[in-house]
Structure 1
Amino acid sequence: MKPFTFLLISLLSHGLAWSGKFQHAYEAALVSDSTFRAARSELASVLQNVPLARAALLPNVALSVSDSRVKGNRTIDNPPGKPVTSPLDYRSPVQSLSLRTPIFHREASKKYELAQAQVSYAEAVLATHHVDLVDRLADAYLQRWSAEYALRAARTQVEASQAQSDLARRRFQLGEGTLTNVSEADTALEMARVLLTEAQNKLEVATLVLRHITGGGYVPLDFVVDALPANVLNAQIAQVPTETLSEYISKAQTSSPTIAARKQAVVLAQLAVVRNGAGHYPRLDVVASVQSSRNDSLSTLNQSVSQRSVGLQLNVPIYSGGYVSASVTQALADQDKAEAELAAEIQRVTKDVTELYFMVANTPAKIQAMQQAVTFAKLALEGAGKGVPTGFTTQADVFASQRKLTQSQYNLAQAIHEHMLARVKLFGRTGAAPEKVTTYMDAVLMNY
């Protein structure tokens, strides 16, 4: 069994066995999470930019067919005599096939390169959303677990407070206690019930968040209590990072999905500068057409025309009101912005990796200390409970000890939550595949 498995199942002096699988939740989230589906659809949309841009580099063939029926009158002036008017009634069929194919079109070529870069950028952005999905899912999954644990602790506290309240009433009826003791016990019970309600509400919210991510397609987190030796936690502490901080930072700077996306954004901005500058270049096309017509106009009435043409067409931009120059200046500013954002992202990822590294490295000692705090809180509660009949302690002392124990238990669960989430995020920042995260989560939480 994995060392960290013992860490989790030894909360308090009990073990918590998981019946669900994080892999199931992950697979459901890939299909159901709205944010990730939006990113996937955005990539599908951007993919169409490539064929759209390529179309400007391919031949354009058009067929035009028309057939008109003309009716009317034609009057011809006859200066020596009177004008002559004759009726018109004829058809004018026209068929035309035209072809245009570019020979040199720099702007279209650069648009095609830009479209390919846009696809690479969209894929990098989707990878960042993938990492974000795993982070959010792991957080929601662990929040659900923490809320379940907090609810169980709150129920235990209500049961203990109820028992103390019943004991205070019996002692008061026997003349061994005071009305103050009863009031303190009742107050403690009411406070415990309030805490139970809050825990139930937190569980509902945590479950709702998890369902929103997975679409409800997750295995419920049911726990089976199994007593374990109290020293399991100390003997089987979580593993610390096996690489140095500098190695993690180097790996993040080369493999982080967010940094990769920013690098693609810089490439995209650089290509935009070149593409906008291509507006200064001329365009050369081959133009060809085949046309057949009859009665195309009054001057060709009762005549059929069939013609073919082929040639070159050169378009040279001379002046466009400064549009191209302004677009290049704008693209250069966008390039500077993209480069600055890349530098900022590298700094942010370096900071995140440093924080996560220290959290992963330091929390095992914190977890061990919190396990000891739970042990001491249990002893304090036992002592407070035993001191009530003798008058050395009061119901208020028992309630305070119960609250301290519950808080210690919750703090221990939260420390384990934070440790696992930090490790998951460290995986993501250093470019680990999401499958590695799901394997880790299942090995820790559910592989026993």
Structure 2
Amino acid sequence: MLRRLSLALAVAAASNGMAWAAEQAPLSTKTDLVTVYQEAAANNADLAAARADYAARREVVPQARAGLLPNLSAGANMSDTRTQVDSPANTSSRSGTVYQANLSQPLFRADRWFQLQAAQATDEQAALELSATEQNLILQSAESYFAVLRAQDNLASTKAEEAAFKRQLDQSNERFDVGLSDKTDVLEAQAGFDTARANRIIAQQQVEDAFEALITLTNRDFASLEGIEHSLPILAPTPNDAKAWVDTAAAQNLNLQASNYAVEAAEETLRQRKSGHAPTLDAVASYQKGDNDSLGFSNSGAPGQARFGGDVEQRSIGLQLNIPLYSGGLTSSQVRESYQRLNQSEQLRESLRRQVVQNTRNLHRAVNTDVETVQARKQSIISNQSALEATEIGYQVGTRNIVDVLDAQRQLYSSVRNYNNARYDYILNNLRLKQAAGTLSPDDLAALEQYLKSDYNPDKDFLPPDLAKAAEAQLRGNPQY
């Protein structure tokens, strides 16, 4: 009787027959998760743009503060004026230079004070939005990193599947040659192999695409990445209480905190617009120095004739009060606009709060679902492997046909891909849950480092090492394994 085609045998055939992954990713140049994040933090263009945006936005504070500080200006005026009177005929001229300095100090400017308060709130909002961008880069690094590992594991499983279908095709040809099967079996096996080969080509492209996305994120080229071990604990979130996570998110979610400052800035802007109706009071001082002609000191009877000789100095100091009476409705319109902007910012904050609550609850459920799914998917591999071997035995003795065998093989490798997808979904959903709660940090990536395997080979390590033994135990009816 022919040897049953086990999953371990297919993996070995794929590893020996297809060395693409090994050629693309030398083990000596593998990169870990933290290094990828560090490269992203140093080279990511979106993060650099966000930092530049923050540096620009924080300048609103000194700009607003300037409206409350003294304003000092200096200047000079040089002129040459000629005056001619027709009757009686008389011509005079005046020329000279005047130097002047003016000082103004706001004493009561309610609008500028509220403008400063709004600017400070905007500065806090910008800082939190930058922090949210930096935190999101942690998640992006993990998503890009594990997208590569997911694609590599998917490629490894499709290569093993292709090798399994190739072996089935060879067996079908051998059976046809000795008259144990008809041409239909060969054609069915050929169709299965061709499909598996097409899937392997697509999976190979997906690996290359995943590496390309990692290059875009970090502006660095990586030959290979360290893989995640199957010993990674698959545990429920701590605490396993959705309300506790929601409360943490309400208090610490960075985008939600930024929206609070956006509302505060809108409130201060409204106060600023309202204070446009208030009077203003400034202390003013001026100083002028120039010759008497330039300053206009002359006898009233004869224009241009100096009353004083030499230079003249003028000094003045006083208070300047301005009471707005009517500005064409501009101030009232700006107040109405600010009311609506405040309402807009409050509604956006409420929308964001609801979204954060929804995402936190959904992600908490997703992590708990992932915990059960990973175990179920692992058991599914064992069951499908046992089912495949049983189907192959039936095919050898004539109780099953080739279509049954091919379907069992497809189910087996589909369960393999589902298992690996569940593992990576668990890792990423954990990180997304922490981001929603506002607690995600680089330490979470460092915590995964201990489960990364520097000699990870996708062609051999995409499956848990105990699967073959577990499948054989199940096939023999040993449920306690």
Q: TM-score, normalised by structure 1?
A: 0.85
Counterpart-to-counterpart distance in 1, 2:215 and 2:37: 12
DSSP-derived class of the 1:286 partner: strand
1:286 to 283, 295, 310: 283
1:55 to 57, 62, 66: 66
1:104-119 aligned within 5 A: 104-119=108-123
1:97-246 aligned within 5 A: 97-216=101-220, 220-223=224-227, 237-246=234-243
Q: Which residue of 2 aligns with 1:349?
A: 356
2:430 matches 1:423:
yes
1:81-100 aligned within 5 A: 83=89, 92-100=96-104
Q: Which residue of 1 aligns with 2:260?
A: 263
Q: Which residue of 1 aligns with 2:86?
A: 77
Q: Which residue of 2 aligns with 1:403?
A: 410
Superposed displacement of residue 165, structure 1: 2.1
Counterpart-to-counterpart distance in 2, 1:75 and 1:331: 57
Greater mean alpha carbon deviation, residues 416-425 or residues 345-354: 345-354
DSSP-derived class of the 1:97 partner: strand
CA contact under 8 A between 2:211 and 2:222: conserved in structure 1? Answer: no
Superposed displacement of residue 114, structure 1: 1.0
Query: Cα gap change, 1:115/1:161 in structure 2, threshold over 3 Å: closer, same or farther?
Result: same
Q: Which residue of 1 aligns with 2:477?
A: none
Over the matched positions of the two proteins, sequence identity in percent amounts to: 26
Q: Which residue of 1 aligns with 2:338?
A: 331
CA contact under 8 A between 2:226 and 2:454: conserved in structure 1? Answer: no
2:304 matches 1:299:
yes
Query: Cα gap change, 1:446/1:274 in structure 2, threshold over 3 Å: closer, same or farther?
Result: farther
CA contact under 8 A between 1:25 and 1:219: conserved in structure 2? Answer: no
Instruction: Write the letter of the residue equivalent to 2:42.
Output: V
Instruction: Write the letter of the residue equivalent to 1:120.
Output: E
What does the per-residue CA deviation read over 1:226-256, in whole Å, with 9 as the maximum and x for residues that have no partner? 9x9xxx79xx643443342222221111111
Counterpart-to-counterpart distance in 2, 1:405 and 1:40: 48
Counterpart-to-counterpart distance in 2, 1:110 and 1:314: 19
CA contact under 8 A between 1:25 and 1:217: conserved in structure 2? Answer: no
Superposed displacement of residue 425, structure 1: 1.2
CA contact under 8 A between 1:29 and 1:215: conserved in structure 2? Answer: yes
Q: Which residue of 1 aligns with 2:319?
A: 312
2:24 matches 1:24:
no
For the aligned residue pairs, the C-alpha RMSD in angstroms reads 2.9
CA contact under 8 A between 1:47 and 1:119: conserved in structure 2? Answer: yes
The size of the alignment, in residue pairs, is 420
Query: Cα gap change, 1:265/1:85 in structure 2, threshold over 3 Å: closer, same or farther?
Result: closer
Counterpart-to-counterpart distance in 1, 2:51 and 2:187: 60
1:367-378 aligned within 5 A: 367-378=374-385
DSSP-derived class of the 1:299 partner: coil
Query: Cα gap change, 1:427/1:222 in structure 2, threshold over 3 Å: closer, same or farther?
Result: closer
1:37 to 37, 48, 71: 48
CA contact under 8 A between 2:102 and 2:284: conserved in structure 1? Answer: yes
Counterpart-to-counterpart distance in 2, 1:98 and 1:330: 36
Instruction: Write the letter of the residue equivalent to 1:104.
Output: F
Counterpart-to-counterpart distance in 1, 2:115 and 2:333: 18
Query: Cα gap change, 1:188/1:447 in structure 2, threshold over 3 Å: closer, same or farther?
Result: closer
CA contact under 8 A between 1:124 and 1:264: conserved in structure 2? Answer: no
What does the per-residue CA deviation read over 1:374-429, in whole Å, with 9 as the maximum and x for residues that have no partner? 11122233334444444444443333222212110111111112211111111112
Superposed displacement of residue 326, structure 1: 2.0
| Residue segments in structure 1 that go unaligned for 5+ positions in a row | 1-11
DSSP-derived class of the 2:111 partner: helix
DSSP-derived class of the 1:432 partner: coil
Counterpart-to-counterpart distance in 1, 2:268 and 2:305: 52
Q: Which residue of 2 aligns with 1:8?
A: none
Counterpart-to-counterpart distance in 2, 1:354 and 1:394: 48
Instruction: Write the letter of the residue equivalent to 2:319.
Output: L
Greater mean alpha carbon deviation, residues 94-103 or residues 378-387: 378-387
Instruction: Write the letter of the residue equivalent to 1:247.
Output: A
Instruction: Write the letter of the residue equivalent to 1:261.
Output: A
What does the per-residue CA deviation read over 1:239-297, in whole Å, with 9 as the maximum and x for residues that have no partner? 44334222222111111112212211221111111111111111111111211123426
CA contact under 8 A between 1:24 and 1:218: conserved in structure 2? Answer: no
Counterpart-to-counterpart distance in 1, 2:90 and 2:280: 51
Counterpart-to-counterpart distance in 2, 1:150 and 1:246: 36
| Residue segments in structure 2 that go unaligned for 5+ positions in a row | 1-10, 13-26, 297-302, 456-481
Query: Cα gap change, 1:243/1:164 in structure 2, threshold over 3 Å: closer, same or farther?
Result: closer
Query: Cα gap change, 1:388/1:212 in structure 2, threshold over 3 Å: closer, same or farther?
Result: same
